[in-house]
Amino acid sequence: MSGTATVLGGRGKGGRSVLALAQRKTPPAPGRITSTHLMGALSQVGLPSLEGIATDQQFLADDGEAIALAEILVKSKIAAVEDWEQSGRDPTKYLHLTLQRWVGGHGGTTIDRRFDLNVTLSDRLVDYSEERAPEGTLYLIVDPEGAAFVLFNPTIAMLEQAHPQLPSTFFRNFVGALNRWVRVYDYRDAEERVDMLRQWYEGEENEDQYELPDVEGCTPKCLTEKPLTSRALGKLAETVTDKRVQSLIRGLLGLCRISQKARRPEFTEDMGEQLMDSNPPLPCLLAAFSQGDSVVGCFDDESQTAMEVTPQPNLIIPLKLSEASDIRKAFRSLGIACETLAAASRLIDLMPGNDDGVVTREG
């Protein structure tokens, strides 16, 4: 990966408004099977198209692993038999089609309205690393090409009129549901940045000349309110009179339910060894309060050094090829992660002030 987030509202793939965060420009590492955008392009006959797949992309580690995985996916009814001919009987391309089909069936088109993500199937977590997964193990990896952007102030103002605890409830549950699967950058990350800067500047000559971002000043005070319980939130959804608020609450409850359908796979010792010298994951979403506020400023500042060391992936789902049940569980986890992102995308559609984040199609 290379590049930094320096432009807010830059145009991402498909014309979406995103932060141009760490665009991936390096070719795939040896051993990387296949990577697909979280929305697969569909052909006229309703099957994922192979257009855009590099003709020289190969699985160099062991073709037997690709074939073994494809076999299990067919028997588990995750992969479609008819895609075998569509792939030209190439195991790597067949797995690419399977990922496209699986993601597409779990909200891929909706995800692509807001998020700029890729899912990759690989035998290693870091490009060009000599550290591979244990024998017979592959990884499903979800990572961003750019950070999506969501504004909260208009939504907070609306929710506060309905109930004083509703803004903090909405914010914490929204961010928490997504953070279960991918990284969200919000005011708490920005506060950590400010604390770090303060420590750097302490004791320096002319310490007062440094101006720290005012994250506290841009954060709505209502977010310090104690959040409502899920039960209380459900009751409020039934009694609130404002239909817009009601839709936001129901969308939030749906997002939380989906996010909790599966557990995020545990971070293993093998993963830790491969990622020993890595930076934190790149954010998939920047949650700010207004355009150009201090949260955005801290995010932009951090992004300048985010790529000095290879970042960890956002989501790593290991697949043990010796266990069909493990692979079925892994793909279910990927499906829940996708459905969570799709639910978040739908919810952002309901949040006022966020029209700019929707993909605009050319032609």
Q: Report the alpha-carbon distance of residue 256 to residue 250 in Å, rounded.
A: 10
Both tokens assigned to 11 = 């145009």
Phi and psi torsions of 162, nearest 5° = -85, -35
Confidence grade of residue 361 (pLDDT, cut at 50, 70, 90) = very low
Q: Report the alpha-carbon distance of residue 238 to residue 98 in Å, rounded.
A: 41
Least reliable range by pLDDT among 181-185, 205-209, 246-250, 315-319: 205-209
Question: Is this structure's pTM higher than 0.75?
Answer: yes
Q: Report the alpha-carbon distance of residue 179 to residue 278 in Å, rounded.
A: 19
Burial class (CB in 10 A: 0-12, 13-18, 19+), 244: middle
pLDDT tens per residue across span 53-84 = 333 333 334 578 889 999 999 999 999 999 99
Answer whether residue 20 shows pLDDT above 60: no
Q: Report the alpha-carbon distance of residue 326 to residue 194 in Å, rounded.
A: 42
pLDDT tens per residue across span 247-261 = 999 999 999 999 999
Answer whether residue 205 shows pLDDT above 80: no
Both tokens assigned to 356 = 């700019």
